[in-house]
Amino acid sequence: MSQKYVEKVLLTREEIQKRITELGAEISRDYAGQDLLLICVLKGAVIFLADLMRQISVPVEIDFMAVSSYGAATVSSGVVRILKDLDVSIENRHCLIVEDIIDTGLTLKYLEENLNSRQPASLKIVTLLDKPERRQVEIAPDYCGFQIPDEFVVGYGLDFDEKYRSLPDICVLGEK
């Protein structure tokens, strides 16, 4: 079996932080005068959430959901399991799903439908990374950090088999 390794840096920590500052300003403008619940999709989006929430000037609360569709593979299985649900009700609340990456869209589409059934006042999506060419279902983020090519990326919270999350840059994973 071949070993995985970091092939190249796709996005530097400086590029990421600059874009997150811009996203925070945009979200703050759109939610001016409102309270916002940020719903972080664990585990990959936790670093993005921490940096993003510090750039949002409106009052925010946070909650977490853990869903799984990858396991130890580099391709989504398409089977979504909720591993951890929200601790609070989202009924009549303005909610923003904070996602690390949208790939096939299968997981996020399931999550969006599940959360919409709980009758939030509004539900939008912010993602750090988007791979639109991999999309299998109709879903688009309301806020997007970067569109990236169809390469498997790690770092800044994104992993392969729970490894590489702590890399400060977003990197392409290759084979040795």
143, 124 contact by CB (below 8 A): yes
Active site residue 30: no
Burial class, 141, CB count within 10 angstroms (exposed 0-12 / middle 13-18 / buried 19+) = buried
Q: How many angstroms separate the CA atoms of 12 and 170, rounded?
A: 6
Which has the closest alpha carbon to 105: 138, 57, 128? 138
Q: How many angstroms separate the CA atoms of 127 and 41, rounded?
A: 10
Q: How many angstroms separate the CA atoms of 168 and 40, rounded?
A: 19
Q: How many angstroms separate the CA atoms of 37 and 28, rounded?
A: 13
The catalytic position among 103, 142, 150, 159 is 103
Catalytic residues: 103
